[in-house]
């Protein structure tokens, strides 16, 4: 039965007459009477009886009026939800994120997301594997990824979102933990390292090894941990030091002293499907960008929201090495070294990588 006909039944019941319902529905009385008779014929029962000067639903009519009222309300709510979703006001988003994000800018952004997108259901999923995060976005399992090293693929768009130092998390009381100034990269050769297993976070593992090799250091790996909490526990137990994003200092692990690594930085990107037309994704990116615009560290000039599209030439392995000036350079997967400042210049605006 059409929603229009259900509306006729409800109008007749509420007005108590064909004439009143016809005026409300902007129909002629003969037209509405004919529609009512046709519904009664289809259902095989009388829906209204005359009592006094008005019409009253029969028991069967009462059932239909009750159900029709519910159906019409649900239909109106569905239409409203569709309109709100089309405007990017309501809906559901699944966001995958690196652990350093939730301890840093993403954690700070959640309050603003809740205030500005109150009718959006946000599902967060933590991951330590950059390739899995990018693949999940491509496959539609995630609407947005907050990750350090996105996969290179023409179907992905990326936005530089946040830049922060890499930090050496040292056992409390270790001689390297005493100075307050940033630690030189040479410090990586003065203490064993606890590190991610490569199968858990290959990009992070490679980044740390590249930092060591760039400084002419053969790292001594004393233990591996499959989560940040495990790595910091190993540090507190004096197995060695861990190289992590600076935002992990927010965990305030007892027995661990953080010290930034001089001349290094790590970047968080927003990653989404280039052909995604969901207005909610755009609204979420806008909210997140406003958060980092307001809280960007002074040593993070690159967190400007520059957008790029990455082509399908492999994964974006960006490694750190140190040049003669002590500034960390970034090395792409072709082996060509480029300084962080030149990388910044190339990240401003729209570009395609790997061509």
Residue 242's nearest CA partner among 201, 187, 196, 194 is 194
* Whether residue 33 has pLDDT greater than 70: yes
* Whether residue 10 has pLDDT greater than 90: yes
Helix then strand then coil, % of the chain, to nearest 5: 45, 25, 30
Residue 146's nearest CA partner among 123, 165, 166, 130 is 130
DSSP state of 104: T
* Whether residue 296 has pLDDT greater than 70: no
Q: Residues 285-302: what's their mean pLDDT?
A: 62
* Whether residue 352 has pLDDT greater than 50: no
Residue 261 pLDDT level (bands cut at 50, 70, 90): very high
Residues 6+ apart with CB under 8 A from 190: 176
Classify the phi-psi angles of 140: left when phi > 0, otherwise alpha if psi is within -120 to 50, otherwise beta: left
Residues 6+ apart with CB under 8 A from 225: 194, 195, 196, 231, 233, 234, 242
Residue 169's nearest CA partner among 87, 110, 228, 218 is 228
Residue 299 pLDDT level (bands cut at 50, 70, 90): very low
Q: How far apart are CA 318 and CA 303, in angstroms?
A: 17
pLDDT at 292: 66
Do 28 and 36 form a contact (C-beta atoms < 8 A)?
no
| pLDDT tens string 43-89 | 999 999 998 888 999 999 999 999 999 999 999 988 888 887 777 77
Task: Note the pTM of the prediction, 2 decimals.
Answer: 0.61
State the burial class of residue 154 (Cβ atoms within 10 Å of its Cβ: 0-12, 13-18, 19+): middle
Q: How far apart are CA 42 and CA 19, in angstroms?
A: 23
Q: Which comes out higher in pLDDT, residue 318 or 55?
A: 55
pLDDT at 265: 86
Residues 6+ apart with CB under 8 A from 95: 122, 123, 124, 125, 142, 143, 144, 145, 146, 284
| pLDDT tens string 165-219 | 899 999 999 999 988 889 999 999 999 999 988 888 777 888 889 989 989 999 9
* Terminal Cα distance for the chain, rounded: 58
Q: Which of 1-15, 20-34, 333-347 is the least confident region?
A: 333-347
Q: How far apart are CA 123 and CA 144, in angstroms?
A: 11
* Whether residue 109 has pLDDT greater than 60: yes
pLDDT at 294: 52
């Amino acid at each position: 039965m059409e929603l229009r006909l259900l509306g006729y039944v409800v109008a007749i019941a509420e007005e108590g007459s064909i004439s009143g319902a016809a005026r409300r529905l902007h129909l002629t009385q003969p037209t509405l009477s004919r529609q009512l008779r046709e519904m009664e014929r289809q259902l095989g029962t009388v829906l209204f009886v005359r009592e006094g000067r008005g019409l009253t639903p029969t028991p069967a009519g009462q059932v239909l009026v009750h159900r029709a009222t519910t159906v019409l309300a649900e239909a109106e709510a569905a239409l409203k939800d569709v309109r709100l979703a089309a405007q990017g006001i309501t809906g559901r988003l699944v966001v995958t994120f690196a652990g350093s994000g939730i301890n840093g800018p993403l954690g700070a952004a959640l309050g603003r997301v809740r205030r500005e997108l109150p009718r959006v259901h946000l599902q967060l999923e933590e991951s330590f594997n950059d390739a899995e995060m990018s693949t999940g976005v491509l496959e539609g399992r995630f609407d947005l990824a907050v990750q350090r090293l996105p996969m290179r693929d023409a179907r992905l768009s990326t936005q530089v979102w946040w830049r922060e130092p890499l930090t050496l998390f040292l056992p409390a009381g270790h001689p390297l933990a005493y100075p307050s100034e940033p630690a030189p990269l040479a410090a990586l050769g003065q203490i064993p390292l606890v590190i991610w297993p490569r199968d858990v976070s290959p990009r992070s593992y490679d980044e740390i090894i590249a930092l060591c090799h760039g400084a002419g250091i053969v790292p001594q790996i004393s233990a591996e941990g499959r989560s940040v909490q495990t790595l910091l526990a190993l540090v507190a137990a004096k197995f060695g030091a861990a190289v992590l994003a600076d935002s992990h200092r927010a965990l305030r692990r007892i027995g661990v002293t953080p010290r930034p690594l001089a001349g290094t930085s790590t970047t968080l990107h927003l990653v989404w499907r280039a052909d995604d037309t969901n207005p909610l994704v755009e609204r979420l990116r806008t909210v997140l960008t406003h958060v980092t615009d307001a809280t960007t560290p002074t040593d993070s000039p690159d967190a400007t929201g520059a957008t790029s599209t990455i082509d399908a030439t492999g994964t974006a392995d960006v490694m750190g090495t140190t040049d003669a000036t002590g500034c960390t350079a970034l090395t792409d997967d072709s082996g060509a070294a480029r300084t962080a400042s030149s990388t910044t210049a190339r990240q401003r605006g729209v570009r395609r990588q790997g061509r």
